[in-house]
Amino acid sequence: MLRVGLTGGIGSGKSTVAERFRELGAVVIDADLIAREVVAAGSPGLAAVRQRFGDAVIAPDGSLDRASLGAIVFADTQARKGLEAIAHPLIQARTAALMGAAAPHEIVVHDVPLLAELDLAAAYHLTVVVGADDDIRVARLTGGRGFTEADARARIAAQVGDQVRRAAADVWLDNNGTVHGLLGQVDALWQERMLGFNDNLMKGSATGGPETPALVPSQGGWPAAAVRLSGRVRQALGEQAVAVEHIGSTSVPGLPAMDVIDLQVGVRALTDAHGTAFISALADKGFPSSPESGSQEVLHGSADPGQIVRLYVREMDGPAWYTAILLRDWLRAEADERDAYGALKRRWAQSATTMTEYAALEGPWLEEAFARADAWAGQLLRKREAPPGWRGA
């Protein structure tokens, strides 16, 4: 079951996207609707709210007087925490029940307005954010939803900005244009990524890596993607993941690379990575195991056809762990080495027709580079400038 988190600021068009997903066949769970359901008239949730805050928050018809309750909780931090202590467990239980009721083959879209604010991206296989410029959102709110311009801008200002939402977004849907254009983006996402992602999850299959070398310029979004993916790994493995590091060419700013995110998961002992629970936890998060494991690592891929991932599980501070971190940090620190490596990568990509040929061209350079990087680390250690854990030459 593919679990998708959907969010966006007020006036962004998130509800339009949620409805389109429903039309396409997704099970859509609306967090705002659930928040209302758990304190509906006659519910245990409303009884608990009444007991905590008194009759003043109950309307004449027996429903919750949201305005009165809002006036209390927005002015009193302890009152707000009291409301959260009542509502959040009920919301979580109802959400879990709805997700559990979905069939294994279905795609679940969880519409969560505060997903970015609450840092919930790791809970989903994919996070989709609907975005639009502030002026366009103000025009929508004043034109169709009865807001004054001042109220609309105040509501927008009270929410997190696009920088925070973009950091949470695996997919950004631009809604500065027409509804038709927005729905076209949703349809393409569904057909080209979500259906394949869900199919891979059900089969336990990973998206294959590139068959031919295809370098692209360094992308500013790679580090943020690595942070999101690392969060999912940590949530899957808990304390078994001692560390998760972004490694490989996409971890070095300014270095051309294939669009593949390499992550390194540090474990206390490699035998941990062979456990059934360990493997299943990663697979459930979208990282199925790969048969290409070696003596020093266990390899996992990604079920997401929109982002190729190589996930290396290695013993902390073992030779393979150390080498990957060393090469990354050396290339980050030494711009001349990085640029020279980038030029060679472009040359190799032009002459190689397969990844095997590319690896054969790169191999000799890597051996020499590791020696130079190790000497560099040794110098830093002698100067006491190296990070803890580095061995150096």
Residue 379 confidence (pLDDT): 86
Q: What is the mean pLDDT of the chain?
A: 93
Is pLDDT at 392 greater than 60 in this prediction? no
Residue 211 confidence (pLDDT): 87
Rounded CA-CA distance 123/135 in Å is 31
Mean pLDDT of 25-49: 94
Residue 385 confidence (pLDDT): 63
Tokens of residue 356, six digits: 């095997």
Is pLDDT at 146 greater than 90 in this prediction? no
- Taking only the tens place, the pLDDT of each residue in 184-207 is 999 999 999 999 999 999 999 999
- Closest to 30 (Cα-Cα) out of 114, 131, 104, 144: 114
Is pLDDT at 136 greater than 60 in this prediction? yes
Three-state SS for 188?
Answer: helix
- Cβ-proximal residues to 21 (8 Å cutoff; 6+ apart), any chain: 4, 6, 28, 107, 109, 186, 190
Rounded CA-CA distance 157/134 in Å is 9
Instruction: Determine the residue type at 10.
Output: I
Residue 388 confidence (pLDDT): 54
Rounded CA-CA distance 7/172 in Å is 10
Residue 391 confidence (pLDDT): 56
Decide if 45 contacts 86 (C-beta within 8 A).
Answer: yes
- Taking only the tens place, the pLDDT of each residue in 338-372 is 999 999 999 999 999 999 999 999 999 999 999 99
- Closest to 14 (Cα-Cα) out of 181, 132, 156, 134: 132
Cα angle 376, 382, 384; round to 5: 100
Rounded CA-CA distance 265/243 in Å is 6
pLDDT band at 393 (very low <50, low <70, confident <90, very high): very low
- H/E element, 314: strand 308-315
With tokens 């244009």, the residue in question is: 177
Rounded CA-CA distance 289/300 in Å is 4
Whole-model pTM: value is 0.89
pLDDT band at 91 (very low <50, low <70, confident <90, very high): very high
Instruction: Determine the residue type at 355.
Output: M
**Between 385 and 158, residue with greater pLDDT:** 158
First CA to last CA distance, the chain:
48
| Overall residue count recorded for the chain in this entry | 393
Rounded CA-CA distance 138/249 in Å is 41
* 165-to-53, 116, 119, 121, 132 alpha-carbon distances in Å: 34, 6, 10, 10, 11
Residue 389 confidence (pLDDT): 56
Instruction: Sort strands 126-131 and 260-267 into parallel, antiparallel or unpaired.
Output: unpaired
- Taking only the tens place, the pLDDT of each residue in 209-267 is 888 999 999 999 999 999 999 999 999 999 999 999 999 999 999 999 999 999 999 99
Mean pLDDT of 106-121: 94
70-74, 264-268, 269-273: which range is least confident on average?
A: 70-74
Residue 23 confidence (pLDDT): 98
Three-state SS for 116?
Answer: coil
Rounded CA-CA distance 169/127 in Å is 5
Residue 386 confidence (pLDDT): 60
- Taking only the tens place, the pLDDT of each residue in 100-113 is 999 999 999 999 99
pLDDT band at 302 (very low <50, low <70, confident <90, very high): very high
